[in-house]
Amino acid sequence: MTEQAVEGFRAERDAILEIGRSLTDDEWNMPSDCAGWATRDVLGHMAATLHGVVDPAYLPDMTSGTEGAMEGPVDQRRRLPIGDVLDEYETCSGKAADVFQSVQAPGVGETPLPMGDLGTHTLSMLPATFLFDAYTHLRVDMLRPYGSIDRPEPPRDEQRLAPTIEWMLAGLPWMCTDALNDAVQRPLVLELSGPGGGTWTLAPADPGDDGGRIAISVGATDDAVATIQSSSHDFVIWGTQRRPWRDFVAITGDADYAAPVLDAVNVI
């Protein structure tokens, strides 16, 4: 899966560059679906985070949390010509893809990487992390119907969506630990259709594990009390709380139990 994530990241990078080179100055300054950010600010965010991958001197200060750490680098890039920001993205994303490939090597990929409020994951997960970021920002925040940019959407294929979903489910127990621990008291099943889809069970945290997190495993368990159904692409939209889950999700079983769990899901 992680090798697939590298190829998925390269494909999404190519799509971002192709669309980016086609935009006018007016389009770059149109609002994105990220509150307070123009479309150019979304690109500035992606350029900044990838610059930090290839040169740690550019890593933002994460002490205020992941989302708060993004504002400073974005503001810095608002003062630059958009061509410079696009060049930075092109250069740093290309180098980052090579970094992502290098950390797939045996013995390296299993190294734990603390990522603040995103959790601790293996180095091999890095390309999926940044593929999720690119997929979400391009398709939800920049392109219509939620963003302002009117361009054809790139393919929603397995190499992009499977690693994106892998990262979302790996990070979910870390990103909203308290809310999910409170909500997930009985097992429930998540079924995602389409590319990257599958079936997973969300189970309660082990009460004997102080500070533990809910468990997410592949497959459905017989004791699940509800099943949540969505497409994989739509999970990116509602799983990041960009739109209400009720617009995209079907529930079978105990809907009253499932609803607070869905309210707690917030992948950042």
| Host domain of residue 6 | 2-162
Give the burial string for 95-133 (b: 16+ CB within 10 Å, else e): ebbebbbebbeeeebeeeeebebbbebebbbbbbbbbbb
The span from the CA of 234 to the CA of 7, in Å, is: 22
Q: Are residues 156 and 182 in the same domain?
A: no
3-state secondary structure of 226: strand
Residue 73's pLDDT is what? 92
Task: Yes or no: say if 188 and 225 are a contact pair by the CB < 8 Å rule.
Answer: yes
The pLDDT value recorded for residue 160 is: 98
In a domain, 111, yes or no: yes
Both 201 and 240 in one domain: the answer is yes
CA distances from 84 to 19, 58, 130, 181 (A): 16, 16, 21, 44
Residue 223's pLDDT is 95
Residue found under tokens 């999926």: 128
* 170 belongs to a structural domain: no
Phi (first) and psi of residue 226, to 5 degrees: -155, 155
**117 and 244 housed in the same domain:** no
Domain assignment of residue 120, yes or no: yes
State how far the Cα of 263 lies from the Cα of 268, in Å rounded to an integer: 14
Q: What is the pLDDT of residue 72?
A: 87
Cα 44 from Cα 60, distance rounded (Å) = 13
Asked if the structure places residue 167 within a domain, the reply is no
Task: Tell me, yes or no, whether 83 and 208 share the same domain.
Answer: no
Domain CATH number, residue 192? 3.30.1050.10
Q: What is the structure's pLDDT at 3?
A: 86
Q: Is 25 exposed, middle or buried (0-12, 13-18, 19+ CB in 10 A)?
A: exposed
Q: How far apart are the first and last CA of the chain?
A: 21
pTM higher than 0.85, yes or no?
Answer: yes
- What was the pLDDT predicted at 1? 52
198 and 256 belong to one structural domain: yes
For residues 65-83, one letter each, b for 16 or more C-beta atoms within 10 angstroms of the residue's C-beta and e for the rest, the string is eeeebbeebbeebeeeebe
268 residues of the chain, pLDDT tens digit each? 578 999 999 999 999 999 999 999 999 999 999 999 999 999 999 999 999 999 988 877 666 666 667 788 999 999 999 999 999 999 999 999 999 999 998 889 899 999 988 999 999 999 999 999 999 999 999 999 999 999 999 999 999 999 999 999 999 999 999 999 999 999 999 999 999 999 999 999 987 665 689 999 999 999 999 999 999 999 999 999 999 999 999 999 999 999 999 999 999 9
Q: What is the CATH number of the domain that holds 133?
A: 1.20.120.450
184 Cβ contact partners less than 8 Å away, ≥ 6 residues apart: 202, 203, 204, 205, 214, 261, 264
Is residue 168 one of the residues assigned to a domain?
Answer: no
pLDDT at 66: 65
